[in-house]
Structures are given as structure tokens and as C-alpha cells.
Amino acid sequence: MSATVRDQRAGGVPWAGIVVTTLSLIAMIGMSLALWDSLPELVTTREATATRAGVQVSKLFLATVIPATLIAVGVITVAAPVIANRLRHLLPPELTLLPPELALTPQPTLPPQPTLPSQPTLSPQPTLSPQIALSPQHTRPPRIALPPQLVVTPRSRSRARNASYVLISPFLLVLHGCTLLHSAGHDVPVELGMTVALGLLIAGFGRIMPMIRLQAHVPGWERTQRVAGRGLMVLGGSCVVAAFFVPPMVVAVTGACAFGAIALAGGLVPLLRSHGRNT
């Protein structure tokens, strides 16, 4: 079976992502229960200064906000395709494009009726605009059809989603654990732990980028994705190492900005080059 055929097939259920997400959620709940009695009733998340007021949250909010975020991410990811399909049918017809597999049969225009001398002059019949005739086997409502250069294949989308679950869940677990331990009075290097976790997350996303394939061939797409993916892996590893020698927050902010720039360039550069060649 060719790679193109495999990419067009759906990737199935992301079992690895589901397992990792479930285990991470169970670990978060266990940490919240274990540290519940050690948490103060009000936790200060921002110290008060001369120019701004301090911020305090309840320990219930602190113990549940990150697990709730993980659950919300999973629900949104699963529900997004279903909601998108429903919304397509609510668009007006003039904004709805047909998928390419539907048969398009324009009706011919009718010529003006000739004038008969023995009868009153008849005004010409209005010209009918071409209509879209659907073949009998296609009776479902039309759907939005994006250019194939902007649509990833089902298999690569499933693989990327599965890998994203595997990466994001442990990252949120580390974030949750550092926050709870620090709030409970334990001497935990929160900024260092979060920056190291962020670096590993960036490196993991670098591993995902070469998995993304498009429905249509875009010259240079695979090569650009590989280069951008390697760049993200180097960036993530550099963040992990630099966090021990440079202030972690500086490393985290710099790494996050560089991550966005590299990922955006990896997606836009081949598309812009392809558009420039076609025009």
C-alpha cells in the first residue's frame, strides 16, 4: 500500500493519547487529594506591590483548574469536528461550496424567442443562469470545500492529535504538581521545572511536524516540515539546558516566541512558494 493511500485513510482512535491523558488526570487528582490538607484556604498567586493589588485564589480552584483544563482540551478536540460539520449546514447557499467529487452540470441558456408577425411582439425570455445539478447519488447537503493545499490528510491529523495528547498531558501534570507543591510550602523550583517541561514539550512538537501531510502535493512541504521539526527539537533541548544557567522565565519566554516563529514559518513558507510559482 502506498504512502498516499495510507495518509488518506482515517487514523482511528488515538489510544496512546487517551491512555496517557487518563493516567495524567488520575495522577493530578491523586496529587490534589494528597496535598489538600497542606494547602492554605487562600493561595496567593501574585504578590501585592505599590502599583498593583495582590491576587488570591481558593485552594479548591488551585487544585482543580489544571485538571479541568485537561478535560476541556480533550472535550473540545473531540467535539470540534462534530460541531464544524453541523455548522456547515447552517451557512447560506451562496457561501457553501460543493466538494469536488460532486457532478456539476450547468444547464444551457435559452435563446430569445423569435418575434411572430401575426401575433403581438413577445419580450425575450430571461436568460437562465447556470444551475448546479447534483447527480442522484449525491443528495446530502453541500459542505465547505477548502483548497486541498490547506487540508491535512486524515491519517496525519489523527497521528498528530494522538502525539499532542501524549505531550500536553504530562506537561500539564508537571505544571500542576509544581504549583501544588509550592503552594503547600515545599521548596520546589517551580520556574525551573516548568521551563524544563516546556523545553521537552517544544522538542516533542518538533517530532510531530514531519508527520503532517497535506491532501494535495505542495513542493517542498515535506522538506520544510523536517527542517522546522529539527529546529524545534534543537530549540527544546537548548531550553532544557539553558534553564539551569539562565533565569528560567527568560528562557521560557524566549523559547515560546521562537517556537511560534519556527512553527509558523514551517507551515507558511512552502505554501507561499507554491502560490508564487502558480501565479
Taking only the tens place, the pLDDT of each residue in 139-155 is: 454 444 445 445 667 77
Does residue 103 belong to any structural domain of this protein? no
**Measured CA distances, 52 to 45, 48, 49, 249 (Å):** 13, 6, 5, 21
Does residue 107 belong to any structural domain of this protein? no
Domain membership of residue 267 as a residue range = 11-44+55-95+141-278
Does residue 136 belong to any structural domain of this protein? no
Does residue 133 belong to any structural domain of this protein? no
Q: Quote the pLDDT of residue 195.
A: 94
Q: Quote the pLDDT of residue 85.
A: 63
Q: Are strands 42-46 and 55-58 parallel, antiparallel or unpaired?
A: antiparallel
Does residue 5 belong to any structural domain of this protein? no
Which residues is 56 bridged to in the sheet? 44
Does residue 39 belong to any structural domain of this protein? yes
> Residue 88's closest CA among 103, 78, 99?
99
Does residue 65 belong to any structural domain of this protein? yes
**8 three-state secondary structure:** helix
What tens digit of pLDDT does each residue of 38-75 get? 988 888 877 777 787 778 889 899 999 999 999 988 88
Does residue 1 belong to any structural domain of this protein? no
Query: In which residue ranges of the chain is pLDDT below 50?
Result: 1-8, 94-107, 134, 136, 138-139, 141-146, 148-149
pTM for this predicted structure: 0.70
Instruction: Give the total number of structural domains in the chain.
Output: 1
Listed in order, strand segments (DSSP E) in 163-255 are: none
Distance CA 244, CA 232 (A): 19
> Residue 156's closest CA among 5, 270, 18, 10?
10
Q: Quote the pLDDT of residue 4.
A: 47
